[in-house]
Structure 1
Amino acid sequence: MSLLQISSFAAGEWIAPGEGARTIASAITGNPLASAGNSALDVAAMLDHARVTGGPALRAMTFHDRARMLKALAQALTARKQELYDISFDTGATQSDHLIDIDGGIGTMFVFASKGRREMPDGHVYLDGEVEQLSRNGTFLGQHVCTPLHGVAVHINAFNFPVWGMLEKLAPTLLAGVPAIVKPATNSCYVTELAVRIMLEADILPKGALQLVSGGIGDMLDRLGAQDVVSFTGSADTALKLRSNPHLLRNSVRFVAEQDSLNASILGPDAEPGTPEFDLFVKEVSREMTAKAGQKCTAIRRIIAPEARVEAVLDALKARLAKVVIGDPRREETRMGALVSNGQKADVLEKADILAQEAERVFGNPESFEVQGADAEKGAFVPPMLFHCADPDTAERVHDTEAFGPVSTVMGYRDLDHAIAIANRGGGSLVTSVITHDPSVARDVVMGAGAWLGRIYINNRDSMKESTGHGSPLPHMVHGGPGRAGGGEELGGVRGVKHYMQRTAVQGSPEMLSQIGGTWIPGAKEIEGPAHPFTRKFGELSIGETIYTDPREVTLDDIEHFAHFTGDTFYAHMDDDAAKRNPFFPGRVAHGYLLLSFAAGLFVEPNEGPVLANTGLDGLRFMKPVSAGDSIKVRLTVKKKTPRTDEYGEVRWHVTLTNQDADKVAEYELLTMNAY
């Protein structure tokens, strides 16, 4: 059978394997499967193509344009994901593993598409935080903004997730407006290449937005500059080598790393055998050991249980692991497939031998185990291997050696402080889980171990039916960790997008900041529209469009009627003497919500029109009490516009209530949905 020819996509052209190509073997059979690599790639041309062609095209798009692009890419991948399933089996992955890698990657892209539409503006500048008043009268302000970098993102990915590993970096990069050059690990690059082909054939991306290196990147890192980003996933040793590149250091090139992680799972002292928490703990550990044959950066490597329950945990885990069917991942019966390569198999066995210096192997003999439908010698198969470390305090290698396969070590703790200390000896991890029904246990772990962790996963009988699992990084939440884990935060919603943007402090007048950020700021220019703004469609409204209402007097009868009608007879509204004893009030005052109701009556256009619904208000503040006899009037200004669907968009209105002396009495932001 002829080998698959795995190409690179460089400067707009597919480049077949050439000089320096490497042969990739099937993880199942050990037979040659594909050829990849070409040391003659013109990396300078690739970088130039990204910076000159891809970058400007992406930056010309708004965040919402890019979000729609991500959704379309995810839909294109969804339509052809069976092709990705079929080719992924040779990486050793089962169908269940495909759901983690392929479906998980596509799902991540969908989430970033949604977040781009929901949480980012339909513009080119992302506002990071609130406006800072830098002068007494508010004529000089400050605002942090984020804009896309003018360089290229180089993604160096690991072998274990050839689709998810690419898409979880690509989605925030493209949403930021930065082109990417993807370099997957060679052992599984044939899956990544197919995913890239699917996206490019969908004809959705601008030219230069996405390129692929199947093989080595040559001297690409030596050609990067201050506007570029390197995002790496892999071993700590490789990360250190890349991060220490003098050129990267000299030019302050951003380097995002996700590397080795000795993740832990702690069984709470309350979780006795027979409780839902104990059974959940065993289930989670077993799943994390065997999913992707343990080749997950978030897999549980250290199992931390109360000393009195170590034997029960060992017995339960051995019984569960004994039921795991190892074999050809294409078989429905198979529950654990192969490692990605025989080279990886050798590495895992070597690391297991290191662990055996301090821990006893109590389950899983790599010299004798059963493989269904495949040759255990030729394929990259190993059994789940469970170790027991009797003295985690004097041990060292169990806390610094990651066997990147189905290998984990059980160790006992005396009390919760001891459990936390053991977990922290991992030197910084992506995730630690706590299985407990006691909130005080969860809180103590967060306080004691949080500084060493990127994520803490807490589960019990209340959340177990809907929880996503110890080993599932979610695009909404931070994925990364301090110390040994690399110090990065690849995900985390918009946090992940900010890796590819520059945060800049912009200072100036309200008008300048309003124009830059596309959001009206008090003190900026106000526009008088041709008609009441509630009669104008979403697309007709302008930022800064303002109306001032006539005043309305607030009477004592108004206050009393509102009190009795609503049942809000709080003493500040009904008892003058009691109200005067309150340091906030001069006597009886109007209800704050009465003022809001009067404000709506002052500015609302009652007839049917483009305003479809009032969806809420934000930032409400009452600034000065209103007494009977005072009058109020309203300033209503279009602050911000955000498209939501093809039929309507969200309008954010800045609302200010003032009294007869022009003093502010209330301020808030009103949200409406307006038809196009």
Structure 2
Amino acid sequence: MATTSADMERHGAAPLPRRRGAMLIGGSLVGAVGGDTFVSRNPATGEAVGEAPNGTVADAEQAIASARRAFDNTAWSTDVELRIRCLDQLHAALVARSDDLRELTIAEVGATRASTEGPHLDGPIGIARYYADLLQTYSLTEDLGEIEYMGMRNQRWVEREAAGVVGAIIAYNYPTQLALAKLIPALAAGCTVILKAAPDTPLITLALGQAIAECTDIPAGVVNVISSTDPEVGAVLTTSPDVDVVTFTGSTATGRKIMAAASSTIKKVFLELGGKSAMIVLDDADFPTAAMMAAFMITSHAGQGCALTSRILVPRRRRDEIVDLLKQNLDMVTYGDPADPGTYMGPLISERQRAKVHGMVERAIQDGATLVTGGKTIEGQGYFYEPTLLIDVDPDSEIAQEEIFGPVLAVLAYDDEDDAVAIANNSIYGLSGAVLGSHDRAVAVARRVRTGTFSINGGNYAGPDSPFGGYKQSGVGREMGVAGLEEFLERKTFAAVIG
């Protein structure tokens, strides 16, 4: 739970934090109305990293009004060359500031140093480069040709134009990736944006706003970045009639509420929600490789990833062999200080999240699952949890159905390929998945599993040019790639009488 400055005063004040973030509203770096702040803590130590403005509903309304004015009254939505130049500038600024952003990501998010060289920082920075380049070749018009209608010649065409003001709300786990995957394509499309930081990791998102304010020619109000612990601040973005599009990454439960709230103004809604992805190990797979991949995937960022494969489906007659390999690999995972280059797994984001993970593991054991390794909180400072392996898991149980967001892997045995596919699809989610085995069999199985992304024999689908999103209750729409740009575009069809 976030600690506000008012809480600190009541409990006898804490040491002054090292960083002080600022919101970006209307082109200015500002504090919250009333001046309240909240502390962001290092999940590896519990110590304060810094403090962020505790924005109010009034701040959110000011940011919305600023974005609305910028969309309606500036050339941002129509000047493609300006957008390309500004995305170039933003990319250069993020590269130049990457050392500082890296240390902040390690301290605030609990990301390991190695992961900042991939999905936590260096990879997302490339999103700006991709969309700046895409805008130079992407056609915003489509010629439909001529037709004759009632004796008259008609020329018809389609133009793509910016969808309007975007409210973007992100989760804590990969804040830079989530922020840039929403912000950059929205800007490329010509939209203006209000980006709300996650309360657990506000400083890294506010740092993006600072880079925009200090290093780019993006007009005032085009980008607004706010932070708050008040749920009503996010609610304003989903209900305001001046917001045209809402894009949200987080839990499916919250996504349902956002979709319902946005319905009152019939907004476009993009949702990137939860997952309960399955890795299917076929009987002709390389078992040591499969076990290594499964173990190190579920412990990357301490399991705090919506697309991670938290279920591993194995042939029943080879289960014990694969379980032994999984245990060996999980026991090799190094965890601790994320700043240490030798650390593979860092902490969970908070004590609240660690308690949630441990509660789910305990309930799974009570429901009949067998604990093979792990299953305990790690004593000492920080919010660490042991890499955990469960077997004898009922496919319909909570641990096999609900998102954990922790380093917990559930083993489910299957009888044949049809059974494996049925178990994989036995979920309200459909975000991602994986399969290992001979190529043709693996591809055939992958095509039967209802998810938005899929890895075959370790294939990496992630990248700025690769659409990401889910089926079923894992979300609506796609981020990244051309599809991600088009989420923020509207199509207008024209017809003109000629001749």
Structure 1-normalised TM-score? 0.66
Q: Partners in 1 of 2:279 and 2:84 — Cα distance?
A: 36
Question: Which residue of 2 is the match for residue 303 of structure 1?
Answer: 312
Give 1:183's aligned residue.
196
Letter in 1 for 2:174: F
Alpha carbons of 1:205 and 1:32: their partners in 2 closer, same or farther (altered >3 Å)?
same
**Alpha-carbon shift at residue 474 of structure 1 (Å):** 2.1
Q: Secondary structure at the match of 2:292?
A: helix
- Partners of 2:132 and 2:147 lie apart in 1 by 35
1:103 corresponds to 2:122: yes
* C-alpha spacing 1:238/1:383, structure 2 compared with 1 (3 Å): same
- Per-residue CA deviation, residues 529-575 of structure 1 (Å, 9 max, x unaligned), is xxxxxxxxxxxxxxxxxxxxxxxxxxxxxxxxxxxxxxxxxxxxxxx
Residue of structure 2 in register with 1:386 after alignment: 389
Paired residue for 1:87, among 65, 80, 104?
104
Q: Which amino acid aligns with 2:188?
A: L
Q: Is the 8 A contact 1:39 1:218 kept in 2?
A: no
Secondary structure at the aligned position of 1:101 is classed as: coil
**In 2, Cα distance between equivalents of 1:67 and 1:401:** 42
Residue pairs, 1:6-25, within 5 angstroms: 6-17=21-32, 18=34, 21-25=37-41
1:10–1:46 CA contact under 8 A, matched in 2: yes
- Kept in 1: contact 2:272–2:475 (CA 8 A): yes
After TM superposition, give the deviation of residue 236 of structure 1 in Å: 1.1
Task: For 2:380, give the aligned amino acid.
Answer: E
Would the aligned equivalents of 2:250 and 2:273 in 1 still touch at CA under 8 Å?
Answer: yes
The whole-number CA distance in structure 2 between the counterparts of 1:179 and 1:302 is 39
Q: CA deviation at 1:57?
A: 3.0
Unmatched 5+ stretches in structure 1? 370-375, 512-523, 525-676
Kindly provide the CA deviation profile for residues 404-461 of structure 1, in whole angstroms up to 9, marking residues without a partner as x: 0111211111111111111111223211111122314422430x22xx21112212xx
| 3-state SS in 2 of match to 1:45 | helix
> Which of 152, 175, 183 in structure 1 is aligned with 2:165?
152
1:54, 1:207 within 8 Å by CA — same for their partners in 2?
A: no
Residues 206 and 508 of structure 1: is their aligned pair in 2 closer, same or farther, counting only changes over 3 Å? Answer: same
Q: Which has the larger radius of gyration?
A: 1
Give yes or no for contact 2:477–2:487 (8 Å, CA) kept in 1.
no
CA shift, 1:88, in A, is 1.5
- Asked whether the 8 Å contact 1:388–1:409 carries over to 2, the reply is yes
Higher RCO (C-alpha 8 Å, min separation 6): 2
Aligned to 1:238: 254
297, 320, 341: which is aligned to 1:332? 341
Mapped to 2, the partners of 1:486 and 1:156 lie a distance apart of: 14
Q: Is the 8 A contact 1:157 1:185 kept in 2?
A: yes
Identity of aligned residues (%): 27
CA distance, structure 1, for counterparts of residue 475 and residue 308 of structure 2: 16
TM-score, with structure 2 as normaliser: 0.88
1:264 aligns with 2:278: yes
CA contact (8 A) 2:364 2:397 kept: no
Q: CA RMSD in A?
A: 2.4
What's 1:530 paired with? Answer: none
The alpha-carbon distance between structure 1 residues 354 and 104, as it changes in their structure 2 partners (threshold 3 A), is farther
Match for residue 517 of structure 1? none
Alpha-carbon deviation of 1:40?
6.2
Letter in 1 for 2:77: R
- Contact 1:305/1:413 (CA < 8 Å) preserved in 2? yes
- The size of the alignment, in residue pairs, is 474
How far off is 1:83 after superposition? 0.1
Report whether the alignment pairs 1:404 with 2:405: yes
Question: Is 1:424–2:425 an aligned residue pair?
Answer: yes
- 1:91-136 Cα offsets, whole Å, 9 max, x none, are 2111122121111110122222222223x14xxxx135x6266448
Q: CA deviation at 1:153?
A: 0.6
Deviation beyond 6 Å, 4+ runs, structure 1 = none
Given the alignment, which residue of 179, 185, 193 partners 1:172? 185
Give me the whole-angstrom Cα distance separating, in 2, the residues matched to 1:252 and 1:193.
29
Q: Given the alignment, which residue of 33, 53, 70 partners 2:70?
A: 53
Within 2, Cα distance between the matches of 1:360 and 1:19? 51
Counterpart code for 1:21 = T
In the TM superposition, residue 234 of structure 1 has moved relative to its aligned partner by 0.5
Please list, as runs of the form range in 1=range in 2, the aligned pairs for 1:119-138 lying within 5 A after superposition. 120-121=138-139, 126-127=140-141, 131=144, 134-135=147-148
Contact 1:155–1:232 (Cα < 8 Å) also in 2:
yes
